[in-house]
Structure 1
């Protein structure tokens, strides 16, 4: 049996979160290894559609000691530009990384060290940082298997462009960020689109003379910690607000798309052959999304008033379209729907972590990424500590914190040994 090589720290995942941890560990002189099962920036390069771009402006790209330095801070990087940004960051970090190495198990050995089984052999470590993100398994409902074979089905992770789909109309299931952007991509290409609208909230893009994310930054929203959030831990389960960075950025009002020819339905409820069924919740979901949209505008209004800021006044929001007699079922064959794009998200896969670190729902437990299992850490997850944690904006702070914890524990262990 091959003897395991030991490292003080092993970072699993070579995306922006894992690279950020590596950078902070190098600054502290902590020996470590980064394992990446594919290659740097793989998910940005391979798991996004052709027209994909950031929904947050470029100035929010603040990886540690590597902020965006292009000439368009208020723009939104396209997919290839995001990949280039990460590759440039990796060159700056120069991490001790092994690409093409998959981790199949992390557990505790008899000697107390953490064991890591990989596709190239075993390792051990004092500390393991899980930086794999939470987008491992594409979600497709079980009843999708009952759809007539004449209708093509793909998940958003496999969608690239409208020409990829067979001729005909397209049903997009899900109105989170991916769903609405794929819907718009198809609509702009002249395809007839149907959209199942779920409970995702939406956000303004520009309001009262300034990009909404700039207002929210000034208001301290991105620095809000999970313990200060009004919904507490439940905030981790909330879907991100939908809007777009396409064509210099704009908000997405699904009512306007309905007025312009996109057919809207409630949440998907089931499939029988070529017939898809919907819940009777379209009006509720549209109203709820608009309520969040209006509440963000109200918060900005209050901030402007409280700080006596000179900003232009905008008219109150008024819905431009209301659903009437929305069908609760559609026959794909009769309607000419040739394809369904599932955009209802992903679920994490932590089955390879054989340590008591998960709650009753399979989610990892941690405090600012530090788990209750000695030596195990998480990073790159939404609301790890703040609203910015799962974004380019907040990962630097999280990485510095974890590197500091590991360094302090290493120094304490060395002091005890001495």
Structure 2
């Protein structure tokens, strides 16, 4: 690659809310940069979410740089189309130098120390590169899914839109993270007979003692806690988020209540052999552990209320409304009438295009506040990049401002050298 290729002080890969936020602050420093977006602005919100999708966090947490939520329902939860409108309006405000439809296919260190960037629109060089692609590149489907008979439809949550797209019959949803439980509810409310493979995701109250739980947690400092002070340390980056929903004004999700309403619960998915579905004997354990987290959150709020002398209504103690008689481990899909499976067990990132030594043995980038040990390479928009809010609308502004400041200082030092 020659020095005649277009050069930028900064190249941002990804034109979502994280990449746009970095652009916003780089513009304030008059730093030359370009944003490469392989699809179009707000693509994943528009195309990779189901029809009834809404935010899990309330609208007041939408705090993109100098662009807080502008609507009249700060306690509500934006629907899919409203999220798209919010991100697109932010993009209009930022007016970032975005090149849509440009995929970055390779990043490596050049002979002169610059970062060499190969894209579908040609070759470029940069002093700094910010990876703002998120971590939801490759939908996870287990290898044993290939043994499922062809007459049973399989779809990943990324490609699920509504109950009508699935064939008539009963549905198995695999995974009880935020997506899994919301899709289970979407199907259940549509009158479908649903089976749910319950994993180890924790759950949270939605409202408690007269207030929305995220408001309590914000006051308790949970959203401000940095990853280096988290009890789990870096392991927090890989923990599953608590499940609850913003649907119809927001409510908590108690899987035991859904069991009383006819949803069939199983433990974690273990294997598939033909139409025989196998589960781990951990349903009771997973339900209990999710409830333990739920109760601990309530107890944290109780202590905060007591310590600060806050006048808040009392709540009855938690009680289990349903218990499994046993942990089922085998299910004949055909005999049960299951005609489709929805995989909701997450995604894995694809950083194969980055040819720089910044990844651990599992392919996860290593950084501190988004800054890697490789000079000029940064990440943003990932869970626990610095705080709990880092992967959400709430914390992106702080992370973007910090990275832009680091880049500005490094460019200034280089110019003075």
- Coarse TM-score class (shorter-chain normalised): over 0.9
Q: How many Å separate the matches in 1 of 2:233 and 2:301?
A: 22
Any idea what SS the aligned residue of 2:34 has?
strand
Matches for 1:1-400 after TM superposition, within 5 Å: 3-400=4-401
Displacement of 1:266: 0.3
- 1:327-379 deviation per Cα after TM superposition (whole angstroms, max 9, x unaligned): 21111111110000000000000000000111122110111001100000000
Q: How many Å separate the matches in 2 of 1:83 and 1:295?
A: 35
TM-score, length basis structure 2: 0.99
Contact 2:57-2:246 within 8 A present in 1 as well? yes
Q: How many Å separate the matches in 1 of 2:81 and 2:332?
A: 38
Contact 2:282-2:327 within 8 A present in 1 as well? no
* Alignment gaps of 5+ in structure 2: none
Displacement of 1:107: 0.4
Any idea what SS the aligned residue of 2:35 has?
strand
Contact 2:9-2:32 within 8 A present in 1 as well? yes
- 1:205-260 deviation per Cα after TM superposition (whole angstroms, max 9, x unaligned): 00000000000011111000001111111111100000000000000000000011
- 1:117-167 deviation per Cα after TM superposition (whole angstroms, max 9, x unaligned): 000100000000000000000000000000011100000000000000000
Any idea what SS the aligned residue of 1:222 has?
coil
Aligned residue-pair number: 416
TM-score, length basis structure 1: 0.99
Any idea what SS the aligned residue of 1:54 has?
coil
Q: How many Å separate the matches in 2 of 1:178 and 1:318?
A: 25
* Alignment gaps of 5+ in structure 1: none
Q: How many Å separate the matches in 2 of 1:228 and 1:217?
A: 16
Displacement of 1:69: 1.1
Partner of residue 407, structure 1: 408
Any idea what SS the aligned residue of 2:382 has?
coil
Q: How many Å separate the matches in 2 of 1:97 and 1:77?
A: 25
Contact 2:53-2:80 within 8 A present in 1 as well? yes
Q: How many Å separate the matches in 1 of 2:336 and 2:288?
A: 27
Displacement of 1:279: 0.5
Displacement of 1:325: 2.9
Any idea what SS the aligned residue of 1:389 has?
helix
Any idea what SS the aligned residue of 2:124 has?
strand
Q: How many Å separate the matches in 2 of 1:14 and 1:45?
A: 14
Q: How many Å separate the matches in 2 of 1:326 and 1:404?
A: 53
Higher mean C-alpha displacement, 227-236 vs 56-65: 227-236
- 1:245-287 deviation per Cα after TM superposition (whole angstroms, max 9, x unaligned): 0000000000000011000000001011111011100000000
Q: How many Å separate the matches in 1 of 2:409 and 2:326?
A: 63
Q: How many Å separate the matches in 2 of 1:79 and 1:397?
A: 24
